[in-house]
Amino acid sequence: MIVLGIDPGTAALGWGLIDRTGATLRLVDVGCLETSSELGLPDRLLAIHRFIGDLIARHKPDLIAVERLFFSRNAQTAFAVGQARGVVLLAAAEAGRTIREATPNEVKMAVTGSGSADKAQVGRMVAVILRLDEVPRPDDAADALAVAIWAANSERSDDREAVGAAVMDRAAVAPMARGESSYDRAVREALARDRKTASRS
């Protein structure tokens, strides 16, 4: 299953494609679309719409996941993100793709185990889960991959009834035969490396 994750924004829109085969997640492609500040809002939205349409046509994702606007202290930022989200949802609907939405906290919880994780923590865990040598840059791209990971883990077709709309109940869906899943082991090892690095500095 190919999943396209989107971190919406009018100035910078992160996107990430992953392939889920069984329990394995693999990076397909990732990037960040930046629109020129010299363009008016209608032209920026048009550029986003065309770009998302091209991504869908090229990679044919089975599922498109978009970060939901949850809260923002800056009304102007929230308004811009909302407009970008609308354009992404339109392009997905035009292509007849299944759409999933999650709040930033839901995505952070699914990827790091903490709804209050910062961008650096999200980026590190994205790299661990996808077995990448480096954290994807910029942050918008890493955030988009986190959204895709959330969606891929929430859409296990064999266990649809056991999966909530936001965070998968891992114990109910896939009981751990030996006390620790590969995902949990990767998280534990990443945290141990972080602690070792912190103790050296």
Q: Which residues are catalytic?
A: 7, 67, 140
Tokens of 54: 């091209």
Q: How far apart are CA 129 and CA 6, in angstroms?
A: 18
Q: How far apart are CA 82 and CA 166, in angstroms?
A: 20
CB neighbourhood size of 196 (10 A): 9
At position 115, the amino acid (one-letter code) is: G
User: Per residue in 93-110, is it b (16+ CB within 10 Å) or e — as a string?
Assistant: eeeeeeebbbebbbbbbb
Closest CA to 122 of 78, 137, 133: 137
Helix axis angle, 139-154 to 119-129, nearest 10°: 60
Q: How far apart are CA 6 and CA 166, in angstroms?
A: 16
